[in-house]
Chain A
């Protein structure tokens, strides 16, 4: 099955700096890569996603890049703000066959702290 590795596990930045979180995946058939933000006591919130036919996607201060050859994708947050502090999860999914269809595999998470 799919395996997703996420780094770093913790990331501390000053307000206004950029933050980058990286993930690698193992299943070359994976074709959908979402990123989630999870605040304490809440469920994961979808913040951006990218599909395998696109190399980069941007939404205001958030961008995601995908390198299918190397099987890695990254989340970039620019001009960080204290309210960006949360746990961020990457995930991967594909339509590689009956048993893996529809299953989202998550990375281990990154605790992002933005200091004012």
Chain B
């Protein structure tokens, strides 16, 4: 399968703990995005990388959130001191040269 992959698929954590998610984009795509989706809503933009450079961050991305894309390949999204409001599906997408976004299966985070 050469699509976008995400790990883990599910994460349950206690409030106050730190969590880290990984995204592996489609190999030839140099643009990578993180989105967050809550139940019954469409995905909301969090942040965007072109190669290793983080070019835009949403105001939804509080100081507790940090994203990296070392070497312009895979990306990680870390949430520190998790809160119950962080419970959501975290989606990663990569973009091809024709401007189409392809999403991964997502990581479902539950904060108890």
Interface string of A74-116 (1 = CB under 8 A from B): 0000000000000001010100000101111111110000000
With A43-B91, A109-B40: A103-B103 Cβ-Cβ less than 8 Å? no
Chain B interface, number of residues (Cβ within 8 angstroms):
27
Question: A108 and B41: CB pair below 8 A?
Answer: yes
Q: Taking CB as reference atom, which chain B residue is nearest A36?
A: B103
Q: Which residue of B lies closest to A6 (CB)?
A: B42
Question: Quick one: CB contact mask for A38-76 with B, threshold 8 Å, 1 for yes?
Answer: 000111111001010000000000000000000000000
Closest 10 CB pairs of A and B: A106-B42, A43-B103, A43-B105, A44-B103, A43-B106, A103-B45, A89-B42, A102-B48, A43-B104, A106-B43
Chain B interface residues toward A at CB < 8 A: 4, 6, 31, 33, 35, 40-45, 48, 50, 55-56, 91, 93, 95, 99-106, 108
